[in-house]
Amino acid sequence: MRRFDAIVIGGGLVGTAIGYGLARAGLAVALVDEGDIAYRASRGNFGLVWVQSKGLGAPHYQRWTRRSAQEWPALAAELGASSGIALGLEQQGGLQLCLGYDEMSRRRTMMQQMHREAGNFGFEYRMIHRAELAGMLPGLGPAVTGASWTPYDGHVNSLALFHALHRAFAGSGGTYLPNCTITEAHAAPGDFRIDAGPQTLAAPKIVLAAGLGNAGLAPLFGLNAPVRPQRGQILVTERTTYRWPVPLGSIRQTPEGTILLGSSEEDVGFDTGQRPDIMQRIAQRAVLSFPWLAELQIVRAWAALRVMPPDGLPIYDESEAYPGAFTANCHSGVTLAGAHANVFAPMVAAGALDPMMAPFSARRFDVPAAA
Amino acid sequence: MFRPRPDSSAPTIIVEVEGSNIRVPVGASAAAAVLAAGLGSIRDTPVGQVGRAPYCMMGICFDCLAEIDGVPNRQSCMVTARPGMRIRRQHGARLVDPTASTTDDPP
């Protein structure tokens, strides 16, 4: 049996960010990963560090996302230095385009509510009308009425992030165990044992960060993680010489010139297939936004599964029955990497979640539905 | 470096590769024409400006990107050669000028 200070289950962006934060704090960490057969949202995401549409009606989530965005520059610099991998982080703000007047008016109402709910925390944003926007984004389509802007948004090479986190985790003394599927779990307060393939691991702390796998794992540790898959599809164009000045909610360009087009939401279970009608809708909206995109060739396209809690908000929890067991579930592993490595991991290292995390507990789903 | 098989008796066509007329069998790909032309490379990469030539010949590696009949960044191994086809070097990323497209008045 191999003993560690903490076991993290899940080697995707969420698990690796938390594992890195724990290893950096001096804990001996085992990062248990299912391997390449996993539904790997970390390899299918869009790469936004995105704040402006997160947490409507849930100010705690808005603050959490903002906090993560604040942590991002330091995390990117630290990972860059320790891994030698440039993450390509840009955080100069982002735009959410509106097509037609209804979208613009709904967006304005939403941003007003975000601002109201931010309270003393503040929420800087602007609604930018078409005339001004056309000066910022050449070749704007006639259907675009405007956009919302916040200074908090940005984007990053999410595959580089994934690679850098793994390197930094290993560089901090972490033990990465790939191709391990959990076959047996034993929980006692502050004493956890799991069988993963041929080996048995033991630690006083365990963090469940297995994405969609958390739904089945959580009950073994007195936790609840009712996450379900939500499929998203992405189209990728050839590289262009044009340099997009700022990322948009569903269009972003990599520093190498590739343009990514999103986004979609489908409830289709564990199906990572693609559908032409969805791809067509993504392309149509992109071309309505920027007609010149129509001439570009699509060179890649894929689908991936978001890890979606019932209300769309992240779940962070600690087990009452088995103190020392934690869970992290979200569909924003890129945006929240800063918070996971720099805020959540230190709480786990200290042994308990901060009271500010209480609204994220899965206990919010225990309220019986009204008749 | 590349020659047609000596036993090949397929009818041929002529395409233009970087200014030279190249004879290839009917049904050959544009990438095969590039190889037959004996060019060391047919594109420069957008980031490192390094030369690349057709490699996988099955649509995977994107190293055979070329400008074909005026359309940039085409995977030449996936394009069947046609008589008179013009195959030119792809220099880096596709040139795009969004301001060149016509933008109508707002709705």
Q: Using one digit for the tens of pLDDT, what is the confidence trace for A226-257?
A: 999 999 999 999 999 999 999 999 999 999 99
- Collapsing DSSP states into helix, strand and coil, what is residue B66? strand
Distance from CA of B1 to the nearest CA of A (A): 30
CA distance linking residue B100 with residue B98, whole number of Å: 5
Contacts of A299 in chain B (CB under 8 A): 62
- Mutation target for B interface from A240, A246, A293, A295: give the one with most B CBs within 10 A: A240
If contacts are CB pairs under 8 Å, which of residues 45-64 in chain B contact chain A?
A: 46-47, 62
pLDDT > 70: percent of chain B? 93
Does A369 have pLDDT greater than 80?
Answer: no
Q: Name the more confident of B103 and A95.
A: A95
Interface A-B: count of C-beta contacts within 8 A: 60
Q: Which residues of A touch B50 (CB under 8 A)?
A: none
Residue position matching structure tokens 């991991």: A345
From CA A236, how far away is CA A239, in angstroms rounded?
9
Provide, as residue numbers in chain B, all residues whose Cβ is less than 8 Å from the Cβ of A297.
73-74
pLDDT digits (tens, 9 = 90+) for B41-78: 999 999 999 999 999 999 999 999 999 999 999 999 99
Chain A interface residues (partner B, CB cutoff 8 A) = 100-101, 130, 134, 137-145, 238-242, 256-257, 290-292, 296-297, 299
Q: Poorest-confidence range of A73-87, A347-361, B3-17?
A: B3-17
**A36: pLDDT strictly greater than 90:** no
Contacts of A206 (CB under 8 A, 6+ apart): A6, A7, A8, A9, A187, A192, A194, A221, A324, A325, A326
Interface test with A, best of B103, B104, B105 (most A CBs within 10 A): B103
The answer, yes or no, to whether residue A211 has pLDDT greater than 50, is yes
Contacts of A239 in chain B (CB under 8 A): 46, 73, 92-94
- Is the separation of the CB atoms in A327 and A8 below 8 Å? no
Tokens 């592993």 found at: A333
* Distance between A131 CA and the closest CA of chain B, angstroms: 9
Say yes or no to pLDDT of A58 above 80.
yes
Residue in A with minimal Cα distance to B102: A139
